[in-house]
Homo-oligomer: A and B are copies of this chain.
Amino acid sequence: MTASRLVLEPTGDLVALTRALCDLPSVSGDEAAIADAIEVALRRYPHLEVLRDGAAVVARTRLGRSARVVVAGHLDTVPIAGNLPTTLTGAGAGAQLWGRGTVDMKGGVAIQVALAAALTAPTRDVTWVFYDNEEVAADRSGLGRIAGNHPDWLAADFAVLCEPSDAGIEGGCNGTLRVEVRVPGVAAHSARSWLGTNAIHGAAEVLRRLAAYVAADVEVDGLVYREGMNAVLVRGGVATNVIPDECVVTVNYRFAPSRSVAAATAHVRELFAGFEVTVTDAASGARPGLGAPAAADFAAAVLARTGGRPAPKLGWTDVARFAALGIPAVNFGPGDPLLAHTDDEHCAVRQLHLCYDALRSWLTT
């Protein structure tokens, strides 16, 4: 099958639809073909208004309902690793779908496509959002681009992001901050080391504070967010006979959504008092937002279908972009997030159906 000939059958078998979406490689930056296929498939349905921006597709009902919800997912994957085309193992309750994208997040996208086609008269107006470039630097994000170009396309009372969450609601997300802690030194030949100042030895105190740091568990709107403060990179030294004149420790702080970026930055600066700290990357977290009426209804629908209670999301996801737009948002999708990006990425077929059913139930009752 070539990209130009991919024809999606939104109302057919959900597993077949998921496989078709996975088998069309769509690594970040190369999502045009999959966006084309989704756009063509959804334009067949007169209850949907279909919009396009680059490799992003938006399809929405215009029923004049009192509430509107966004259900969103990204089209791109991380690079494939010899794990396409997909394979199916087992049967019945034990069936598993293997391959790149089965978890992150073509299962969620397949559910969106299928429900967008099937739900001609949802009880809430729905905006189905399919976007590009989620797995790369934030400034390339298709969702960010839409928010800039067409903010009205994202207007909603609540958003569900179909990121893998093991078919349970994961609310909000931690924020993330990266800083470089720089320790200076004075270079010298290592045969005359006393003429220099060893920057790597100076970094001992930075690592000591990190090793001694006890990360907090922070309750936000009833969910407990576990934080983390970690060195992720360390670099120092230029040659094996030179006393190093610089050592840089890159630290990643994952912080609860009740803290602002400014508060998180102040906390890190306090931790490394006495050292030069440079912020290189920062993104706010998102509060779980489960107090919103649409969110409470959604949580009830999921609880009824899956038995799952909301849990905190620990990694950063695009729910934070919705939070920044003032739209409460949660993650809810098939697949174990720990398997995302792994070479043995695979998803339980049962979760595809569970998530489909829960969303359908919520949007039809």
A179 to chain B, nearest CB (A): 10
| A115 contacts chain B at the CB level, 8 A cutoff | no
Q: Which single member of B202, B242, B281 contacts A232 (CB below 8 Å)?
A: B242
| A258 contacts chain B at the CB level, 8 A cutoff | no
Q: Which single member of B233, B254, B316 contacts A193 (CB below 8 Å)?
A: B254
A178-217 contacts to B, CB under 8 A, are: 178, 189-195, 198, 200-205, 207-208, 210-211, 215
Instruction: Point out the residues of chain B lying under 8 angstroms from A202, CB to CB.
Output: 211
Residue of B nearest to A247 (CB): B234
| A335 contacts chain B at the CB level, 8 A cutoff | no
Residue of B nearest to A208 (CB): B204
Q: Which size bracket describes the interface of A in this complex?
A: 35 or more
Known contacts A241-B232, A243-B230, A247-B234; is A200 also within 8 Å of B207 by CB? yes
User: Are A315 and B192 within 8 A (Cβ)?
Assistant: yes
Q: Which single member of B194, B204, B226, B230 contacts A190 (CB below 8 Å)?
A: B230
Residue of B nearest to A239 (CB): B232
User: Are B243 and A232 within 8 A (Cβ)?
Assistant: yes
Known contacts A191-B174, A207-B207; is A237 also within 8 Å of B232 by CB? yes
Binding site for B on A (CB under 8 A): 174, 176, 178, 189-195, 198, 200-205, 207-208, 210-211, 215, 226, 228, 230-237, 239-244, 247, 249-250, 252, 254, 281, 314-316, 338
